[in-house]
Amino acid sequence: MSVKSGLGFSTTGTLFGKYFFKYMNTALNAKKNNVKMAWTNVPSPLELFFANDVIPLQPELLSGVLSAMESKTQKILTEAEKYISRDCCSFQRHIIGNYFLKGFPRNPDMIVSTIPNSCDAQGKSFDLLNYYEKKPILYLDFGAEENEEGIEYVKNQLLKAADFIGKHSHYEEFNVDKFKEMVKLSNRCVDLYREICNLRATVKPPPGSSSEGFLLDLFNFTFKGGNFLDGIAYHEEVLKEIKKRIEKGEGFVDNDAPRIMWLFLPPLYNLQLFGEIFEQNNATIVFNELYMTSSHKIENHDLFEGLAKKYVRNIFNGSIEKRIKMNLEAAKKYKIDAAIHYSIWGCRQSTSGAPSIQQAFQDEGIPFLILDGDCVDPTQCSAGQVKTRLEAFLEMLR
C-alpha cells in the first residue's frame, strides 16, 4: 500500500470543470443557436428537459462554482443586499445579486421550480426574478411520503411538468420516445455513480480523496454534465482512475484511518483546501449523504411512476425521521467511524434537523460534529475557527 498526497482534484476535478464550462457555454449561447433554455433548481427532473432538447440552467450551481473560483463573490453578495436580507441563504443571495449584475443567462424560455424539495427558497428567488423576466413558470411539489398516495401525487406533478416543458420546447409537445432514451442513459449514469461510490466507501486504503468525493457528489446532485452522454463519459473516466489506483494499492490515508461520513453540502468557496484537512490528519470522507439524493434509478414499466419514486426517495424529501434512518443505515453499512454535519448559515431546512441527527448518531456510539459555516459566503464564518474545530474533532478520533 502506498499513500498518495497532493493529488488534489486530479481527474475528478479536471473533468468537472470541463463539463461545467461546456454546459455553461451551451446555456450562454442558447438563443444564438436556437436552443431552448429553462431556469430550474437543484435537484430537478433532468430527464424531462433532456428529452425535449431543453437546457436546464441551475443558478444555484453557477453560484457555487463562481464562489469556488472566488469570482466577484463579495461584489455579487453586496448587490443582493438591495433586494434580499443578508440572513437569507447565501446561494439565493448570490443568484439575485448575480442576476442584477447580469452574471448569468437571462431571458429563459421557461422556469421550472421544484418545491418543497431540498430547498424551497429557490422558488421565492424565481418569483422575484420573474417579476422582471415575465416568463411562463411552473411549480412542482415533490414533498410527499413514500407510499402509494405520495408516489401517485408526485407522478401527476411530473406529468404536468412534461406537458409544460414539451409545450414550451421546439417540439411543442412532450417527446415520449426520447424520454425513454433519456431514462436508459440516466440509469447508466446512476450505475456508474453507484460503482464509484461503493469503491470509495469499501476499499482500503481509500482510493479517493475527500475533495474528489465532494466534486463527484456535487456533479450528480446538480447538472450531471449538462447531458447524460457527458455524464456517462465523466463517470467512466473517474471510475477508470479509481480502479487504476486500487490496482496499484494507492490510497490517500492509512488502512486504519478514521472513516468519515459527511452530511449536507461542503464549503464551496474553499473546497480543495478544506478537503485536504482530512488527509493531512490521516482521515478521509468515504461517504456523503448527498449520495442518497442522486443514486436512485428509474425502475418501473410506468416511467413516470418510476421517476416519481426516484424523487420521493430523495433523502431530503420527507421527515427528519426518514433522514435519520437513511443516514444511520448508510453509517452502519459502510462502517463509519464518525460523522460531520455542515450547518449552513441561512439554510433552516437542513440546520434545524442537525441536533436530532446528532443525537441519533451519538445514541449509536458514533461521534458527531455539527460544524457551522457557509457554502458561498466566506464572511459568514471564520475559516480559522472552522479549521480549528475540525482538526480538534479529527484529533479526538485518533
CATH of the domain at 214: 3.40.50.11900
Whether the pTM exceeds 0.85: the reply is yes
Over the stretch 199-253, which tens digit does the pLDDT of each residue have? 999 999 999 999 999 999 999 999 999 999 999 999 999 999 999 999 999 999 9
Over the stretch 140-162, which tens digit does the pLDDT of each residue have? 998 888 999 999 999 999 999 99
* Cβ count near 165 (within 10 Å): 27
Over the stretch 252-304, which tens digit does the pLDDT of each residue have? 999 999 999 999 999 898 887 777 899 999 999 999 999 999 999 999 899 99
CATH at residue 55: 3.40.50.11890
Got the DSSP string for 319-363?
-HHHHHHHHHHHHHHTT-SEEEEEEETT-HHHHTTHHHHHHHHHH
Per the structure, the complete domain to which residue 157 belongs is given by 12-175
SS3 state of residue 52: coil
Residue 134 lies in a domain: yes
Over the stretch 62-102, which tens digit does the pLDDT of each residue have? 999 999 888 899 999 999 999 999 888 999 999 999 999 99
**Which residue do the cell numbers 411549480 mark?**
139
- Number of domains, the chain: 2
> Which of 175, 191, 219 delimits the end of a domain?
175
Do 55 and 171 lie in a common domain? yes
> Which of 122, 146, 175 delimits the end of a domain?
175
CB of 375 within 8 A of CB of 265? yes
